[in-house]
């Protein structure tokens, strides 16, 4: 095993580099994982890539590898899949050679303890396993939105997590499932995944016709302006689930009109926690089990539009930034 690894660093707004650095020394209870695939999040990671993260908050306090702030240079990413290639003292030999997924930044090798690794079920490929964080996020959105039989539901934003959320919602007996996205490729995929209708928000007349129509609306576009649109199409006593992370960008909302009397609920949803109403029966482990099952049912690898060698990671991020209508799920490969 080489004594070095390659690691991706965000070094400035819209600048990433791959650096070679010494491998950490294994301590007792630790394992070395050699990464084979990692997925770039076209939503959350773009906030970091563009330098839009509030400087006074950690990237993700719930994940040890991401507990630092977003001051450049910084490592980021949370969908790494690889094989355990070396064991520290006290680690069961059953781990050796096992395919695992971890919420870890993009790099060729990393050190972890067993509780930080999620063994990949038999029959799931490394590329499919890289979708697990977004599938788990989609499961969380459904838990927080609590869609009801016969409801009218809208999903703003059909990036990876939006498409996965649409696919899960399409399994329910809804009266109407509408997606909203400005990119034709994504709208087409949302229909393939079970949406009844796909709307282009650049045609404002379409949204005006849907005003106050929906019982439940998801805002997953990553665009602050879309939140006001999501509120406008939600009806009396409806629910708006906000899954987007806007970073340091502000959402300007018109709350002085119909919203004041609407009794509408706005809910912030994020996968790092479980809402208190579920905690009596649900644990993170139970939700993870459901996410693995949904991943195996959905087979989301069909959403991969591009694959880049890890050495070309800068090109991958540039493509996502410049051409969101073409790049949906981009995968980094670590083949020698």
Same domain? 159 vs 123: no
Half-sphere exposure of 146 (CA within 13 A, CB side): 8
* CATH assignment at residue 101: 3.90.180.10
Domain range for residue 78?
4-130+300-333
Whether 115 and 150 map to the same domain: the answer is no
Is 314 inside any structural domain? Answer: yes
Binned at pLDDT 50, 70 and 90, residue 207 comes out as confident
Residue 102 lies in a domain: yes
* pLDDT at residue 62 in the model: 56
- Say yes or no: 210 and 144 in one domain: yes
pLDDT band at 201 (very low <50, low <70, confident <90, very high): very high
Name the band, by pLDDT with cuts 50, 70 and 90, for residue 2. low
Q: Work out how many domains the chain is built from and give that number.
A: 2
pTM of the model: 0.94
List 38's β-bridge partners, or say none: 80, 332
Mean pLDDT for the stretch of residues 16-21 = 97
Instruction: With respect to residue 202, please indicate whether it lies within any of the assigned structural domains.
Output: yes
pLDDT at site 204 = 79
**What pLDDT score was predicted for residue 258?**
84
Residues 221 and 188 in one domain: yes
Query: Would you list the DSSP string of 293-321?
Result: HHHHHH-GGGGEEEEEEGGGHHHHHHHHH
**Do 151 and 272 have their domain in common?**
yes
CATH number at residue 201: 3.40.50.720
What is the pLDDT confidence band of residue 66, given thresholds at 50, 70 and 90?
low
* Same domain flag for 92 and 197: no
Instruction: Tell me what pLDDT residue 38 has.
Output: 98
Q: Are 150 and 260 in the same domain?
A: yes
- For the cut 70, the answer to whether the pLDDT of residue 228 exceeds it is yes
Angstrom distances, CA of residue 107 to CA of 121, 248, 315:
23, 27, 16
> How far apart are alpha carbons 24 and 230 in whole angstroms?
46
Whether omega before 73 lies within 30 degrees of 0, making that bond cis, reads yes
User: What DSSP element (H or E) covers 16?
Assistant: strand 15-22
pLDDT digits (tens, 9 = 90+) for 254-300: 888 888 889 999 999 999 999 999 988 999 999 999 999 999 999 99
Q: Contact at 8 Å (CB) between 179 and 198?
A: yes
171 in the same domain as 259: yes
**Which of 64-78, 115-129, 309-323 is predicted with the least confidence, judged by mean pLDDT?**
64-78
Q: Are residues 16 and 76 in the same domain?
A: yes
* DSSP per position, 207-244: HHHTTT-EEEEEE-SS-HHHHHHHHHTEEEEEEEEE--
242 within domain boundaries: yes
Same-domain check for residues 114 and 218 = no
Please give the pLDDT value at position 259: 87
Name the nearest CA neighbour of 103 among 133, 129, 128: 133
pLDDT of residue 260: 84
Alpha carbon distance 40, 127 (integer Å)? 12
> pLDDT at position 336, please?
61
Residues 270 and 183 in one domain: yes
50 part of a folded domain: yes
121 lies in the same domain as 236: no
Q: Does a structural domain hold residue 163?
A: yes
Per-residue pLDDT tens for 166-199? 999 999 999 999 999 999 999 999 999 999 999 9
> Which pLDDT does position 54 carry in this prediction?
86
261 domain-assigned: yes
Looking at every residue in the chain, the average pLDDT score rounds to 93
The reply to whether 282 falls in a domain is no
The confidence score (pLDDT) of residue 68 equals 64
What is the reported pLDDT for 65? 54
């Amino acid at each position: 095993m080489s004594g070095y690894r390659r690691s991706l660093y965000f070094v400035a707004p819209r600048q990433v580099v791959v650096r070679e650095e010494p491998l950490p020394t294994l301590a007792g209870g630790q394992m070395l994982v050699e990464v084979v695939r990692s997925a770039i999040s076209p939503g959350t990671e773009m906030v970091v890539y563009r330098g839009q993260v509030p400087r006074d908050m950690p990237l993700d306090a719930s994940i040890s590898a991401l507990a630092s702030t977003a001051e450049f240079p910084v490592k980021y990413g949370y969908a790494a899949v690889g094989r355990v290639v070396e064991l520290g003292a006290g680690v069961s030999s059953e781990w050796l050679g096992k395919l695992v997924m971890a919420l870890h930044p993009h790099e060729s090798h990393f050190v972890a303890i067993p509780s930080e690794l999620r063994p990949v079920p038999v029959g799931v490929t490394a590329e499919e396993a890289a979708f697990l964080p977004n599938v788990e996020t989609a499961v969380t959105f459904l838990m927080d939105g609590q869609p009801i039989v016969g409801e009218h539901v809208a999903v703003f934003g059909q990036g990876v997590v939006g498409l996965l959320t649409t696919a899960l919602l399409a399994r329910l007996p809804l009266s109407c499932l509408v997606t909203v996205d400005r990119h034709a490729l994504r709208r087409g995929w949302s229909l393939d995944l079970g949406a009844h209708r796909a709307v282009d928000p650049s045609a404002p007349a379409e949204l005006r016709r849907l005003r106050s129509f929906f019982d439940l609306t998801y805002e997953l576009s990553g665009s602050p302006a879309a939140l006001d649109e999501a509120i406008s199409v939600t009806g009396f006593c409806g629910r708006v689930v906000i899954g987007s992370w806007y970073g340091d960008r502000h959402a300007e909302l018109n709350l002085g009109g119909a919203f004041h009397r609407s009794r509408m609920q706005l809910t912030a949803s994020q996968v790092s926690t479980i809402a208190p109403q579920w905690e009596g029966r649900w644990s993170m482990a139970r939700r993870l089990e459901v996410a693995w099952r949904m991943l195996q049912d959905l087979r989301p690898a069909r959403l991969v539009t591009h694959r880049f060698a890890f050495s070309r990671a800068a090109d991958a991020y540039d493509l996502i930034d410049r051409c969101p209508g073409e790049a949906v799920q981009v995968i980094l490969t670590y083949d020698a």
